[in-house]
Amino acid sequence: MISVDIERRRRRTANIFTLAVLAVWFVVGWVEPPYLLPGPANVAERLWGFVIDPHMWVHAGASLLHVVAAVAGSIVIGGCLALAAYYLPVLRLAVHGRISPFLNSFSGTGWVLLAVLWFGLGGFTVVFSLAMVLIPFAIINVRQGLDSIDPELIEMARSFGHSGLKRFFLIILPALTPFLFSTMRICFGVSWKALLTAELFGGDTGFGQLFNLARQDYDTPLVVTVIVIIVAAVYASDRYLFEPAQARLSAHYEVL
Amino acid sequence: MKSSSLAASVAERVIGEGLPIAFLLLWWLTARSLPSFVLPGPIETGETLLQLFVDPAFMGHTLISLARVVASVILAVILGGALAGLARYVPSTAYAVQRRVLPVLNSFPSVGWAILATFWFQPDSASVIFVETLILIPFCAIALIQGIADMDRELLEMGASFSRSSLKIARKIALPMLLPYVMSSVRIAYGVGWKIALVSELFGAEHGLGYLMLRAEVIGNTAMVFASCFAIVIIFVAGEKLIIDPLARRFAVH
């Protein structure tokens, strides 16, 4: 009973806090000119304009496509590198001691600017620079999954005479599934953070390009609208799509 | 068996150490047939990299980026710690912090802060530190919320039974238990800080490696773009090995 009360009070405080933030935003937006801070009503209006404008959906679709392609590419490349180090232990130092730390500490913005110089502006530049940022996350997560596989299970499969390919599909891949899912979840979250920079400097469509136009025109309402869309999309997809799916997957594979 | 594992270990070391050398060699060979603005050679990049650390004109940019990252990390740990403390010690605010403030800050695009900062502030260090701190706060807060949750309650209760001074209990018991998490949040924030340092300096600064890199990209000075990226890798690794690792060892729980 007490815990229900505490829970209710916490929710109420969170809701009051949200309303207070909206109220402060409304007041500041009312006092300040829109190019400094557009109010919630102004942003809501732009948001509706965004929803009914097919041109904006092209940008939204392009951004989503960039994210999906980069996440898929990085999981494939990062996963292959981690698997190569797993099956060929002589590559462990090269993959986990050289490639992964190097990519992990190399600046994402650096990749964008280099990709612009190498490939010019366009979708490939965006996907390439995003993938270079995401690959180390994929390597680290898939490695964690591979390290968690019970060696006795592999040994047992070997003693049953299962071939390497069969062992991969019957033991390794199912054991990796929750980790691949969490890799996808992490990469999806990180990619939205890096996406705007990549599209702003290296793309010709997408939210980043909208940002670029808005920045040049001092169109702060559009900047805030795009931010609201991204925050809402990332938050909602993580909370209502990835989190329950991962919980179900973890329960299924008994991974905590 | 023993000699085969030794051979495997030697082979692993040879491939591991040989990879950077092979990469440098391949880079050198490829760069020979390409113009410098497409791919500068490792020697040209190395010379530019050296400039960033010894030439006073360039060193200023490197040092100012470093100072901004350090200032942002310190501020983010303090503000993240304050949020974590609020969520713990004023329980009614826990949801507001963990389900409102942190998820929004965490999913807020870094370049969004950078652009808003250009509208709100003059392009200077304060604007860059503002952007970097806001990006780093959720990382620090999440690590410190975990740290506070993991504190040994029985030890704190024992401390309370020996002393009434909450300041003394905080200093002698709570802080040592929390320090490993503080160091972990410093480590995370320092790593992420260098990753996003360039983003915040691209728009809101007239000095720093981000500014230098954007200027270099505009004039096609690819060697400087490469050198700025490598400078960050070097400073990041040096900071971690020379400062964060020893501090983390010093404050580790024994």
Give all strands (DSSP E) within chain A, no chain letters.
none
Mapped to the 3 state alphabet, what secondary structure does A164-224 carry? HHHHHHHHHHHHHHHHHHHHHHHHHHHHHHHHHHHHHHHCCCCHHHHHHHHHHCCCHHHHH
The DSSP call for residue B205 is -
Check pLDDT > 50 for residue B163: yes
How does pLDDT run across B110-139, given as a tens digit for each residue? 888 888 888 888 878 888 999 999 999 988
Distance (Å) of CA B41 to CA A1, B30, B31, B227? 70, 8, 5, 11
- Per-residue b or e along B134-154, where b marks 16 or more CB atoms closer than 10 Å to that residue's CB: bbbbbbbbbbbbebbeeeeee
How does pLDDT run across A96-122, given as a tens digit for each residue? 989 998 888 888 888 998 898 889 889
At B47 the pLDDT is 94
How does pLDDT run across B76-116, given as a tens digit for each residue? 999 999 999 999 888 888 889 988 898 888 888 888 888 88
Whole-number Å distance between alpha carbons of A64 and A239: 18
What's the start-to-end Cα distance of chain A, in Å?
Answer: 29
Distance (Å) of CA B65 to CA B196, B205, B232? 11, 10, 9
- A positions 204-243 inside 8 Å of B (CB): 208, 211, 214-215, 218, 220, 223-224, 226-227, 230-231, 234-235, 238-239
Nearest CA in chain B to A88: B12
Contact B233 A118 (CB under 8 A): no
Please state the rounded mean pLDDT for residues A51-70.
Answer: 92
Contact A13 B93 (CB under 8 A): yes
The DSSP call for residue A89 is G
Name the nearest CA neighbour of B89 among B133, B179, B135, B151: B151
Instruction: Return the axis-axis angle of helices A108-119 and A123-147, rounded to nearest 10°.
Output: 140
Going by C-beta distance under 8 Å and a sequence separation of 6 or more, which residues neighbour residue B65? B197, B201, B208, B209, B210, B232
Position A256 confidence tier, pLDDT thresholds 50, 70, 90: very low
ipTM score here? 0.79
Whole-number Å distance between alpha carbons of A246 and A248: 5
The DSSP call for residue A98 is I
How does pLDDT run across A216-240, given as a tens digit for each residue? 888 899 999 999 998 998 888 888 8
Residue A95 structure tokens:
């993959």
**Residue bearing tokens 């020697």:** B43
Whole-number Å distance between alpha carbons of B87 and B93: 5
Which residue among A6, A226, A230 sits closest to B107, beta carbon to beta carbon?
A230
**Percentage of residues of chain A with pLDDT beyond 70:** 98
**Percentage of residues of chain A with pLDDT beyond 90:** 36
* CB B188, CB B143: distance < 8 Å: yes
Angle at A145 (CA atoms; ends A139, A148), nearest 5 degrees: 140
The DSSP call for residue A90 is G
Contact B99 A14 (CB under 8 A): yes
* Residue with more model confidence, A164 or B213: B213
Q: Where are the domains of chain B?
A: 1-33, 40-250
Whole-number Å distance between alpha carbons of B33 and B39: 9
* Residue with more model confidence, A256 or B237: B237
Within a 13 Å sphere around the CA of A128, how many CA atoms are in the beta-carbon half?
Answer: 19
Which residues of chain A neighbour B228 with C-beta distances below 8 Å? 107, 110
Number of H helices, E strands in chain B: 13, 0
**Percentage of residues of chain B with pLDDT beyond 70:** 98
Whole-number Å distance between alpha carbons of A25 and A42: 11
Position A2 confidence tier, pLDDT thresholds 50, 70, 90: low
Whole-number Å distance between alpha carbons of B251 and B240: 15
Neighbours of A197 (CB within 10 A): 29
CATH superfamily, domain B40-250, is: MetI-like (1.10.3720.10)
Whole-number Å distance between alpha carbons of B194 and B196: 5
- A positions 78-117 inside 8 Å of B (CB): 89-94, 97-99, 102, 104-110, 113-114, 116-117
Nearest CA in chain A to B90: A10
Which residues of chain A neighbour B20 with C-beta distances below 8 Å? 98
Going by C-beta distance under 8 Å and a sequence separation of 6 or more, which residues neighbour residue A50? A56, A225, A229
Residue B31 structure tokens:
């760069």
Residue B219 structure tokens:
């004039």
Distance (Å) of CA B7 to CA A83, A95, A96, B17, B19? 21, 19, 19, 15, 18
Name the nearest CA neighbour of A202 among A107, A126, A110, A132: A126
At A1 the pLDDT is 56
How does pLDDT run across A63-99, given as a tens digit for each residue? 999 999 999 999 999 999 999 999 998 999 999 989 9
